[in-house]
């Protein structure tokens, strides 16, 4: 089946549109992963600070007992 120039152009445009849509979807997925990782890192730093505060309290209590 022979396609006219217009039909070929329309088909190319449709393919481009679909590929752009896929790229955007991949980017959104990647962004979501990065955001999730940042949140996990932030929580981990907070936990580490809390552990450090707990160690400080224990040191102070040991110092008072002596």
CA dihedral sign, ordered 51, 52, 56, 58: positive
What is the distance between the alpha carbons of residues 7 and 23, in angstroms, rounded to a whole number?
A: 24
pLDDT confidence of 51, banded at 50, 70, 90? very high
Band of the pLDDT at 27, cuts 50, 70, 90? confident
User: What's this model's pTM, rounded to 2 decimal places?
Assistant: 0.48
Percent of the chain with pLDDT over 90: 56
64 has a pLDDT exceeding 80: no
pLDDT of amino acid 66: 59
Could you tell me if 11 and 3 are in contact, meaning their C-beta atoms sit under 8 angstroms apart? yes
């Amino acid at each position: 089946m022979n396609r006219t120039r217009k039909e070929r152009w329309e088909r190319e445009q449709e393919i481009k549109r679909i590929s752009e849509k896929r790229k955007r979807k991949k980017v959104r997925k990647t962004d979501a992963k990065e955001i999730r990782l940042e949140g996990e890192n932030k929580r981990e730093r907070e936990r580490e600070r809390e552990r450090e505060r707990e160690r400080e309290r224990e040191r102070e209590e040991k110092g008072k007992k002596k």
